Chains A and B, each alone.
Chain A
């Protein structure tokens, strides 16, 4: 497909890897912010064609992973109601809450559905006036325009049986929280391409300046990631810390005006709790008062939530780039995509799930059982 296949060309990728190898003289640690980028890196082995001294650590940019346990439990409480048709993106259905996941709820007879788009949930509400249709509006800035559009359309069409459970998160405050940590080891960022398609690049200049880190807004295909790494290490080697836009084919510097206007109309910035990380000030969106009648938290009384997190899961440290999936004793053994202990094993963009999908748990097992690797040819 155009704009995809050419960015997966292996000869061009090898050339870029060679230029990176010639550029680097010292060890550097770079974080890719987005879960989609993590997925590409592990799928294509981008981290393994880089020089040993360039380490990629995986960031918090998987909204499924960082949606708080309280919010998952709130989704459960709403979805369990007999009058509710609960709609969500597919990944959210298997995220473990305190009392199981949404898929288990569905198997017990609740009306839980996967939708491709929030706009499909609006259609469902219009077609089923006797049901309360609730959409689980999660996501980073990328998903804010379609989610805002769903609410805006519901209001315009005067639908009284549609509401959203909003758990939106924002990238720049999460990057700041990582950089503020005394244990931080990130020296440069591959910035979130599709977030910037909506928001533009303007929010990242002050972060690069304040923390003296290069930020290269990067796309999601193998050549994008390699070029992003090249531009980041070039800045690091030169002692520069600027915002660059590798993904200019999809990221206009000022983002999308229409989207920014709609987001501003429907949402306002609020404090948000991130799973595994904790509360980050001004790091999320909630509905503005003008749209409060579409807020599922207000429509259904679901405040009394007591949560219980698995004590064995290290996803918080994985999400902050402090640990890698194979640092966890449960990884690939007691914790698998079929039976996840925590959120980073659920979404295909979670670092643990990506490592598992591309066989990296087998390397851990081989290391632990030398006899196996000796016989495996």
Chain B
């Protein structure tokens, strides 16, 4: 129910004085309310829940888990655990 899908903002417009936009999810486009991400730029990713953008997605933070895994790889900590 609290499903949130990341989508890319491709267009913004105002409707009844509310900020709306066209957001791409892979090849599917949806109409999304962007009123609570007022500074969003075209090309940025937002997290969409029931047709409403809850927040922007932070690209730098999104890389963090992969940086952690790379560090672990360098420490050679990740071979299979012996049975």
Footprint of B on A, CB under 8 Å?
1-4, 6-7, 12, 15-16, 18-19, 21-22, 34-36, 61-64, 89, 91, 116-120, 138-140, 142-143, 145-146, 149, 153, 156-157, 192-195, 197-198, 220, 223-224, 227, 248-252, 256, 258-259, 262, 347, 349
Contacts and interface: CB of A to CB of B under 8 A. Distances in A.
19 contacts: A2-B45, A7-B65, A12-B65, A19-B78, A35-B2, A140-B1, A146-B33, A149-B35, A157-B16, A193-B2, A194-B54, A197-B4, A197-B54, A198-B55, A249-B61, A249-B62, A250-B4, A250-B54, A259-B54
The contact size tier of chain B is 35 or more
B42 to A, nearest CB: 15
Contacts of A16: 69
A368 B79 CA distance: 38
B50 A259 contact: no
Interface in B12-61: 16-18, 25-26, 33, 35-38, 45, 47, 49-52, 54-55, 57-59, 61
A117 B33 CA distance: 10
A114 to B, nearest CB: 12
Contacts of A194: 2-4, 47, 49, 54
Contacts, number: 142
B36 to A, nearest CB: 4
A36 B69 contact: no
A259 B77 contact: no
A143 B2 contact: yes
Given A19-B78, A153-B18, A119 B52 contact: yes
Nearest to A140: B2
Given A89-B50, A349-B1, A252 B55 contact: yes
Given A22-B77, A36-B1, A145-B52, 20 more contacts: A1-B25, A1-B26, A18-B77, A116-B50, A119-B33, A119-B51, A120-B51, A140-B2, A142-B4, A143-B49, A149-B35, A149-B52, A157-B16, A194-B3, A197-B54, A249-B59, A249-B62, A258-B36, A259-B54, A347-B1
A119 B49 CA distance: 12
Contact of B45 (A3, A227, A259): A3
Contacts of A153: 16, 18
A6 B47 CA distance: 16
Contacts of B2: 34-36, 61, 63, 139-140, 142-143, 192-195
Contacts of A64: 1
Contact of A146 (B17, B50, B77): B50
Contacts of A262: 36
Given A15-B69, A15-B78, A22-B77, A143 B64 contact: no
A197 B33 contact: no
B55 to A, nearest CB: 5
A3 B51 CA distance: 18
A145 B54 contact: yes
Nearest to B64: A248
A139 B52 CA distance: 14
Contacts of A120: 51
A139 B73 CA distance: 41
A21 B81 contact: yes
Nearest to A35: B1
Contacts of B36: 145, 256, 258-259, 262
Contact of B52 (A7, A140, A146, A251): A146
A117 B3 contact: no
Given A35-B2, A62-B1, A256 B55 contact: yes
Contacts of A7: 65
5 smallest CB-CB distances across A and B, nearest first, come from A117-B51, A146-B52, A3-B6, A249-B62, A142-B2
